[in-house]
């Protein structure tokens, strides 16, 4: 019995010795020591620490980058001084939207909308300057300050033609306003900073330069500054400041090839501070923008007009009608006079001349160079003041009944651009429906974007329909329309 037990034990010892030899050989071949295995089995990490040394000295001496270091410090100081005066704006409201069912019936359905933008505090009393399209539609407005506090605000007034709105924070402050700079002194190449709340993320600052000046758009009464400082959705209404922290522009729009998901592509635009300041001062003084007025209807010089009037010179704008007892009539202007320049500015098109008239100071004298009967002459006119019923290039309708009957005869129905469409860069009014018996049936389609009427930007549906009724009773009316990527012009014959 003992011999059998001893034999079994001997076999176990031999087996254990053989297994250990194989185990030791295998792990030694892979470069791992047995002691590491034993340490791991006893709970050790099996890792030995690595030695390292960090670089203690700068790669470049400060004396070699003194200017860059100063720019770094000064940029931070500038931003620190500016951002407390920039606010984030949130809006909530209700907007009417045209809805069409499967039977082709259309009706208006209200829906809740929200919006977001930026603004700059510009007075010690808490007035905030922002874009009109940020607060369009009389929404409930709240502003978030630099310190995170949230306050209600109300709209004092707005000017859609310049895309400027003036708000007032409903609180006693104190408020720290930004100073206005002189945008007429801005030069291409100047360094600027765009401050705002892109995508609702909160305070953000981007830098760039003035890329160009006097960028013209059909839906803006003023020429804009172009900047390379990044502007994204949500930056609208925020300030564009110079190296002194002064407002030289109000950020208003971007150029983007992706209309569904617009984003910065190196080209942004801002309303010059001088135009924004004048608009604000007019609104605070009178509750509305103050525009110059001459009382004349204008038309671009097409091939037929040039042939009939025997005019082949530089660009000009034809006077198609003079309103009775208007400043234009008292200045001696006549129908079919061709305006060559206005106040020294070339009359390149009707939009430009209308903008120059409306921006002129009421009561000022302005010289117009005109072409009449193959001769050039200079006439001087006193700028009148446009009221809410009169506009440059348009005659007043006879009465409300006429407006309704004219619009019914035309058979065109439009709606305002939605907040989402505004973010995508759309401006103007959207064609909602065209009567099958209308002369426009087949010319206009549902979804077409009407940008301008007779060269005047269509700000909203009410403004557009008023202009349409006024124009259609006295002349053929031209619409500038976007259909996808196509740009077309549609003429509405005079309504008899």
pLDDT of residue 259 exceeding 70, the answer is no
* Start-to-end Cα distance in the chain: 133
Counting every residue, how long is the chain?
A: 496
CA distance 295 to 297: 7
The per-residue pLDDT of the chain, averaged, comes to 82
Which candidate in 127, 133, 204, 256 is catalytic? 133
Q: Cβ atoms within 10 A of the Cβ of 245, count?
A: 19
The one-character DSSP state at 437 is: T
Does 2.40.10.10 match the CATH number of domain 86-169? Answer: yes
Taking 50 as the threshold, does the pLDDT of residue 401 lie above it? no
Write the CA distances from 290 to 54, 157, 277, 279, integer angstroms: 66, 12, 13, 8
In the set 90, 159, 163, 282, the catalytic residue is: 163
Q: Check if 256 is active-site.
A: no
* Residue 197 confidence class, pLDDT cut points 50, 70, 90: confident
**Which CATH architecture best describes the domain 400-492?**
Roll (2.30)
What residues does each domain of the chain span?
A: 86-169, 183-286, 291-386, 400-492
165 touches 158 (CB < 8 A): yes
pLDDT at 100: 67
Range of lowest pLDDT (94-108, 133-147, 412-426): 94-108
For the beta carbon of residue 75, count every other beta carbon within 10 angstroms: 15
Determine the average pLDDT of the residues in 461-470: 79
The yes-or-no answer to whether 291-386 and 400-492 have a common fold is yes
Please tell me the CATH code under which domain 291-386 is placed: 2.30.42.10
Q: Sorting pLDDT into bands at 50, 70 and 90, what band is 13?
A: low
75 catalytic? Reply is no
**34-93 tens-digit pLDDT:** 555 545 555 556 788 999 999 888 888 888 888 998 889 999 999 999 999 999 999 887
- Report the percentage of the chain scoring pLDDT > 90: 34
pLDDT at position 395, please?
35
Residue 456, Cβ neighbours under 10 Å: how many? 25
E strand or H helix at 133: helix 132-135
Q: CATH topology for 183-286?
A: Thrombin, subunit H (2.40.10)
Using CB atoms within 10 Å of the CB of residue 330, give its burial: 0 to 12 exposed, 13 to 18 middle, 19+ buried. middle
Answer yes or no: is pLDDT of 28 > 70: no
Measure the CA–CA gap between 211 and 225, rounded to whole angstroms: 8
DSSP letter (8 states) at residue 220: -
Structure confidence at residue 16 (pLDDT) = 65
Task: Look at residue 393 and give its three-state secondary structure.
Answer: coil
Give catalytic status of residue 236 as yes or no. yes
Cis before 192 (ω within 30): no
Backbone angles phi, psi at 211, to 5 degrees: -90, -30
The DSSP H or E segment spanning 283 is helix 273-286
Place of tokens 């002129």: 360
Percent of the chain clearing pLDDT 70 (strictly above): 80
Residue of 236, 252, 256, 471 marked active site: 236
pLDDT at 186 over 80: yes
397 pLDDT band (50/70/90 cuts)?
A: very low
């Amino acid at each position: 019995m003992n011999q059998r037990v001893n034999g079994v034990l001997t076999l176990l010892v031999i087996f254990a010795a053989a297994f250990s030899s194989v185990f030791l050989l295998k792990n030694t071949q892979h470069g791992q020591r047995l002691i590491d295995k034993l340490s791991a089995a006893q709970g050790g990490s099996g890792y030995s620490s690595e030695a390292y040394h960090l670089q203690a000295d700068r790669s470049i001496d400060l004396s070699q980058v003194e200017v860059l270091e100063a720019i770094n410090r000064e940029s931070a100081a500038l931003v620190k001084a500016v951002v407390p005066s920039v606010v984030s704006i949130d809006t909530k409201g209700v907007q009417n939207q045209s809805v069409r069912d499967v039977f082709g019936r259309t009706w208006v359905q209200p829906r809740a909308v929200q919006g977001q933008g930026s603004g700059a505090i510009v007075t010690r009393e808490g007035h905030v300057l922002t874009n009109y399209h940020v607060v369009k539609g009389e929404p409930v407005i709240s502003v978030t300050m630099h310190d995170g506090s949230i306050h209600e605000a109300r709209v004092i007034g707005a000017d859609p033609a310049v895309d400027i709105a003036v708000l007032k924070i409903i609180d006693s402050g104190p408020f720290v306003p930004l100073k206005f700079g002189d945008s007429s002194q801005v030069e291409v190449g100047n360094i600027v900073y765009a401050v705002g709340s892109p995508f609702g993320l909160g305070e953000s600052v981007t830098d760039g330069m003035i890329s160009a000046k006097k960028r013209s758009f059909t839906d803006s009464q003023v020429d804009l500054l172009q900047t390379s400082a990044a502007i994204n959705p949500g930056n609208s209404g925020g300030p564009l400041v110079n190296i002194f922290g002064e407002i030289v522009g109000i950020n208003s729009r971007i150029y983007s090839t992706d209309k569904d998901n617009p984003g910065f592509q190196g080209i942004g635009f801002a309303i010059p501070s001088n135009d924004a300041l004048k608009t604000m001062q007019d609104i605070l003084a009178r509750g509305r923008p103050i525009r110059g007025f001459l009382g004349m209807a204008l038309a671009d010089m097409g091939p037929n007009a040039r042939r009939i009037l025997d005019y082949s010179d530089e660009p000009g704008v034809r006077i198609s009608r003079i309103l009775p007892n208007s400043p234009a009539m008292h200045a001696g202007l006549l129908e079919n006079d061709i305006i060559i320049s206005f106040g020294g500015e070339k009359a390149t098109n009707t939009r430009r001349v209308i903008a120059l008239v409306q921006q002129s100071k009421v009561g000022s004298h302005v010289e117009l160079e005109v072409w009449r009967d193959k001769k050039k002459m200079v006439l001087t006119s006193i700028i009148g003041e446009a009221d809410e019923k009169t506009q440059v290039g348009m005659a007043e309708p006879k009465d409300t009944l006429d407006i309704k009957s004219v619009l019914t005869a035309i058979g065109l129905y439009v709606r305002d651009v939605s907040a989402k469409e505004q973010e995508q860069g759309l401006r103007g009014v959207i064609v909602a429906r065209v009567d099958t018996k209308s002369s426009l049936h087949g010319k206009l389609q549902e979804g077409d974007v009407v940008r301008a009427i007779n060269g005047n930007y269509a700000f909203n549906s009410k403004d557009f329909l008023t202009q349409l009724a006024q124009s259609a009773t006295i002349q053929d009316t031209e619409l500038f329309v976007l259909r996808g990527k196509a740009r077309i012009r549609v003429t509405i014959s005079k309504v008899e």
